Amino acid sequence: MNTPMTADHLLGIDPCPDTQSRIAEQLRDRGVSVVAVSDPTTALTTIDIVAPDIVITDLFLPEATGLTLLKELKARHELCPVIAMAKDAPEIMIVQALRFGAADYLHKPVTEGELAYALQRARNLLPADLTDIPGLCRSEYRLIIDSDPTHIPGVISWLVKTTASTLPPIRRLHLQGALQELLFNAIEHGNLEIHYKEKQQALAEGQYEQLLAHRIAQARLKNRCVIIHMLHDKGSNNLVYRITDEGKGFKWHGQFTRSQDVGESEDVNGRGIFLARSFFPCLAYNERGNEVTITVSLD
């Protein structure tokens, strides 16, 4: 009889459809859902959306080597265990994979038993669920991040995996979307003072990266940070996320009373607020408008 795995979501990266199908078939009866992709570009996009518990990747991939992808995955999602696999990989490549952060290495073709054992070892590397820690009454995290928007996906992945892993998948996706919108607002509109029309024009002209670099280089803006404070109170069984930027704030009251048609949002904050409030109606700002809070029930 197969023993159910505790890892719920796995991202498999392999150019071979037969290998993808075999992995999905081996894990179907173990309670593991598998998302399969075939190339590094799709993998990097998918991991930010799916937020898998574990990644398993071939070391021989199109576009780039599996070692390059492994390094990028660990840089962006440090806490996500990655299992490397390959057929007839040279020993030096296997050693490099482990040095780059792979949790394990499997020779292909991978047997069901070997895969299950590797997944269990990888799962043991994941942070413990907050609700499962005996005697824990209250926990807090305080993250201070810079004003580079490219760092946001990795931060969100860590937050969701570390603090909200017990939420149902769809609720985790909602939280991920809300945090993404609010953090982009805090950095772009708050710290870097980029307004909606400026951003749209820069995107249309292919100058968005240049606009970011210009703002980040300004003396009065370059050292600004965003503070993320997360509180878990076991008594109320809530997660509270508070995001504070160092910008001037904004007049948020009108955003709460305007039409809920997202198409009518005239600035970057309007779209972010609409999307975040659609997931979490309890969203609230401080009076100045540079601090936003959302509360997530674990019930």
Same-domain pairing of 91 and 169: no
DSSP type of residue 134: T
In a domain, 80, yes or no: yes
Query: Has residue 179 got a pLDDT over 50?
Result: yes
Same-domain pairing of 271 and 242: yes
Domain-terminating residue out of 123, 142, 173? 123
Same-domain pairing of 117 and 216: no
Selected residue with higher pLDDT from 198 and 138:
198
The pLDDT tens digits of the residues spanning 210-259 come to 999 999 999 999 899 999 999 988 788 889 999 999 999 988 877 776 54
State residue 128's pLDDT score: 59
Domain-terminating residue out of 123, 156, 175? 123
In a domain, 4, yes or no: no
Cβ-Cβ contacts under 8 Å for 33 (sequence gap 6 or more): 8, 9, 10
Structural domain total, the chain: 2
Same-domain pairing of 135 and 277: yes
Can you read off the two tokens belonging to residue 94? 């296997």
The pLDDT tens digits of the residues spanning 113-165 come to 899 888 888 877 776 566 666 677 788 889 999 999 988 888 888 888 788 87
Same-domain pairing of 86 and 153: no
The partner residues of 35 in beta bridges, in order of sequence, read: 11
For residues 1-8, average pLDDT: 44
In a domain, 3, yes or no: no
Same-domain pairing of 155 and 268: yes
In a domain, 1, yes or no: no
Same-domain pairing of 195 and 147: yes
Kindly compute the dihedral angle of the four CA atoms of residues 65, 71, 74, 75, in this order, to the nearest 10 degrees. -130
In a domain, 270, yes or no: yes
In a domain, 59, yes or no: yes
CATH for 182: 3.30.565.10
Same-domain pairing of 233 and 254: yes
Query: Has residue 187 got a pLDDT over 60?
Result: yes
Helices (H) and strands (E) in the chain, counts: 11, 10
| Structural domain of 220 | 130-297
Same-domain pairing of 149 and 59: no
The pLDDT tens digits of the residues spanning 16-39 come to 999 999 998 888 877 788 999 998
State residue 7's pLDDT score: 47
Same-domain pairing of 249 and 293: yes
In a domain, 272, yes or no: yes
Same-domain pairing of 157 and 210: yes
Same-domain pairing of 169 and 273: yes
Share of the chain above pLDDT 90, in %: 34
State residue 269's pLDDT score: 53
Domain-terminating residue out of 92, 123, 154? 123
State residue 258's pLDDT score: 53
State residue 259's pLDDT score: 42
In a domain, 70, yes or no: yes
Cβ-Cβ contacts under 8 Å for 217 (sequence gap 6 or more): none
DSSP type of residue 129: P
Kindly compute the dihedral angle of the four CA atoms of residues 12, 76, 40, 81, in this order, to the nearest 10 degrees. -30
State residue 169's pLDDT score: 77
State residue 244's pLDDT score: 97
CATH for 21: 3.40.50.2300
pTM score of the predicted model: 0.63
Mean pLDDT of the chain: 84
